[in-house]
Structure 1
Amino acid sequence: FDRAKKLRKEGNASQAMLDKRFKEKKKLEGKYEEILAKLNDLIIKAPFDGLISIKNFSEGAFLKPGDVITSIYDLEKVKVELNIPELYINKLKIKQKFSAKVSSINKIFTGIIYTKDPFVDKKTRTFKALGIIQENDNYILKPGMMTNVIIKLNTKPINMLAEGSIIYEDDETYVFTINEKKLVSKKRVITGIRRNGLIQILSGVNQNELIVIEGTNKIRSGTKVKIEK
């Protein structure tokens, strides 16, 4: 077209020839755009930078709509899911800071709580909270890692009992206490963390109450017991 345009300007080509070359140019440009669009459809572009997982298909495989080729993870920031004992549901605040430690990484990470579930799980007596760690240098934190999280709250000293003293009935937890008449009564308790065969008692009994820690399957409320020192 450019050559025909030059010839037309010099008077060595007709207007009809120039128009023909112009139409051919537009037709070729249209085909080029069509081919380019098809090529772009064959290129998969991620909406953000990140790490990709192992591909589910090899080169040359036939795919159908909906097939997942691979997954991509944005690890610049990492979300953390926490299960918090129900006692702290009103003490844990949004934007509260926490520290996180992964056993395989020699580093303490800092994050903040950005949301929490207002409902307590009936089985675990915990509620879910979500936090985010803003800095994940070199993507060393990976999805699915187990994390130990520390949240500083204004709390009282921890009361712990042997796990064998806890009774589980209908998604509730109980202990047997002994009164001054040496009679057994069953009390519902709220439990917290478990550690080294011990379980935290958040509420339900007082520190000065006597608790049955062995043989709970042999007694019931109203049983009179003999205390051996």
Structure 2
Amino acid sequence: MKTSAFIVIGLLAFVALTGCGNSSATNVQASAAEPRERGVPVEAVTVERGLIRASFQASSVLEAEEETDVIARVSGVITEIYVEEGDFVEQGQPLARIESSRYQHSRDQIAAEFRGVEKELERMQQLATQQMVSKETLERLNTRYEGLRAQLALAELDLSEAVIRAPISGHIAQRFVRTGNMIQAYQPRALFHVVNDQTLRATIHLPEQALSSVRVGQNARISLNQTGLTQIDAQVARISPVVDATSGTFRVVLSIPNEAHEYRAGMFARVQLHYAEKDNVVRIPHHALIRIDQTAYVFVVENDKAVRKAVIPGLRENGYIEIIEGIDAGSTLVVTGQNTLREDARVEVIAL
């Protein structure tokens, strides 16, 4: 019986020891299987060098450098119209004609009277050499001669202005007159509107602090249409020397070549006026920059950890900002998720 008791006690001890051993092994395996701490997910890009330009942004409406209303200088009825809207006309080209018979008759009458006085003056001058005509008579006749000559010039001017001509070269933008209309001389209502769009202009208003950065001849980029797909070059043509006290802005006029008449006056334009340009500089996406209390910094990834770097920003253009000092090209820059990072935090970079 004693032997059996010893056997049972031994078996129980073996089972107890075996159970303890298995428990320790299980704990070791569980500890080894614990996952490594995951980093904060962030998006990052490699810092590169490139071109960056500083510019002022503004909007404007394209205008023709030359445009004018055509008015009548004599009264009468329109008998002929030679051009239509969209036609290109040269300076001095006839646009329309006013009935001119009255002006022709008036001119002929004055011309006939002038010729008679002219012959009379010649005869009197011959007699004056023989002292057969008084000096006063000769002076009165000469005065009449000069007056008729001036009247004849005016009559010929009225007759010539019965033909309405283009004051400038350009396109007929609008025609307001019709055949048979009665026209008064120098009336406010225009007959035609002529636009010379070989050179267009865009007028913008910039803040006072930009006055020292803008100069004549500076380049600008103009985007047309709301999509901005059409882009053209322009240059600063004129700068107003006066700052508007009410708005705190000054006027800048840009010149836009348009010899092919590809663009039209009235188009809406967005203007980028470049006032500084740097090439081969470190530049980063502007949203990667964090500003706190006048201090700018970014986060870069080094050995899977976030490292905070104080930087000095420079020019800014089209979503990029120049970094003068603080990081170099080739650094891995955090561009998304940086606002919640802390120094030395473990990060997990997600490819863009």
TM-score by length of 1: 0.47
Greater percentage in strand: 2
Taking CA–CA contacts closer than 8 Å with sequence separation of 6 or more, which of the two structures ends up with the larger relative contact order? 2
Q: Which has the higher helix share?
A: 2
Structure index of larger Rg: 2
How does the TM-score come out when normalised to structure 2? 0.32
